[in-house]
Structure 1
């Protein structure tokens, strides 16, 4: 489980965010802080994996606090000016989400973070393509799930089916399960593979031509 600390000046908003996080598989809220002082104490006490940090704290700016935390951080703030956003990223924030946002928007950022964290698991050396993949998956879900000309709903159905599968699936299998044409499933799977969201390999059967199979990269 990814242990998450919520830092927000409004205890009611912090509670709402905690509820959002609790709905995302693989995440658990270990604490809440409403000031910079409390945030420092909670980080020392709880050693969270991730901090969701507001900019407007009553005793100091979250942007000033951020470099001290030395913990993966996503900023959640009403501050939408370019300077705040640039300062947050410069100080080490992995993402920046402007309030108000939806459960889905936060869930997508958290899912991207979980995939990024999985790629950068400790204890082994990485090849350059793995480093590139880590940065790609961190933000892959920030944007619209479907390329231009494709349905976001259909793209999400295909994505969700792959996420839930314990083994790779072919375009024909996806099409059969979701009730769509094989060519349609192939088009969406190809777009997901191009974005890095899924991995494509060849499946060799006992007879006939090999076919592509797809698995979620997270």
Structure 2
């Protein structure tokens, strides 16, 4: 489980963020802090994987606290001015979400972060194409969930078929399973590969012709 610390001075808002976070598979809220001092004390006592950080704290600005942190951080703040956004990114924030936001908007970013972390699991080195994919995965939740011209229902079905497959699948296999055309399956699979959620590899079959086979990469 990915352990999260919510740093937010408003108790009611903090509880909303806790509720949003715990709805996302793979995440648990380790605690909350209402001040920078409380956050420092908590992190010294029990390290976490991710901090959800507000900019406006009563003792130290959240952006100043961010500069001290050596843990992954996503900013959740009402500050939308360009100076705050640029400072947050320069000081290491992995993402920036402006209040008010929905559970779905935060959930999308947390799911993208989960996929981002999965790439590093058990790895010591990454090839350049893998590093490029890491950056794409990290901000996967920033984009609209369904590309223009694609059906959200079909996207979900293709993802689930690929995600639960025991081995890499071809577009023809996915098409047969879902009852859609091979061309449609190919289009959706190719989009997932472009976004970094799936990996496409060539395999030469019995006929000697290459097959595109797709494997789900994002964490469940």
TM-score surpassing 0.5? yes
User: 1:152 and 1:178 mapped to 2: Cα distance?
Assistant: 14
TM-superposed deviation, 1:207: 6.2
User: 1:137 and 1:126 mapped to 2: Cα distance?
Assistant: 14
User: 2:194 and 2:30 mapped to 1: Cα distance?
Assistant: 36
Residue in 1 that maps onto 2:116: 116
Higher mean C-alpha deviation, range 147-156 or range 203-212: 203-212
53 and 166 in structure 1: CA distance in 2 versus 1, 3 angstrom threshold:
farther
Whether the 8 Å CA contact 1:144–1:152 is kept in 2: the answer is no
User: 2:63 and 2:83 mapped to 1: Cα distance?
Assistant: 11
TM-superposed deviation, 1:203: 4.4
User: 2:71 and 2:89 mapped to 1: Cα distance?
Assistant: 14
In structure 1, stretches of 5+ residues that fail to align are none
User: 1:42 and 1:70 mapped to 2: Cα distance?
Assistant: 14
1:201 pairs with 2:183? no
TM-superposed deviation, 1:169: 2.3
1:43 pairs with 2:43? yes
Normalising by structure 2, what TM-score?
Answer: 0.88
Whether the 8 Å CA contact 1:145–1:155 is kept in 2: the answer is no
User: 1:53 and 1:165 mapped to 2: Cα distance?
Assistant: 37
In structure 2, stretches of 5+ residues that fail to align are none
Question: What SS does the corresponding residue of 1:200 show, helix, strand or coil?
Answer: strand
Cα RMSD, aligned residues only: 2.1
Q: Give matches, 1:21-170, under 5 Å.
A: 21-121=21-121, 124-170=124-170
User: 1:105 and 1:59 mapped to 2: Cα distance?
Assistant: 28
Aligned residues: 218
User: 1:184 and 1:128 mapped to 2: Cα distance?
Assistant: 30
Higher mean C-alpha deviation, range 185-194 or range 120-129: 120-129
Higher mean C-alpha deviation, range 132-141 or range 43-52: 132-141
Higher mean C-alpha deviation, range 163-172 or range 192-201: 163-172
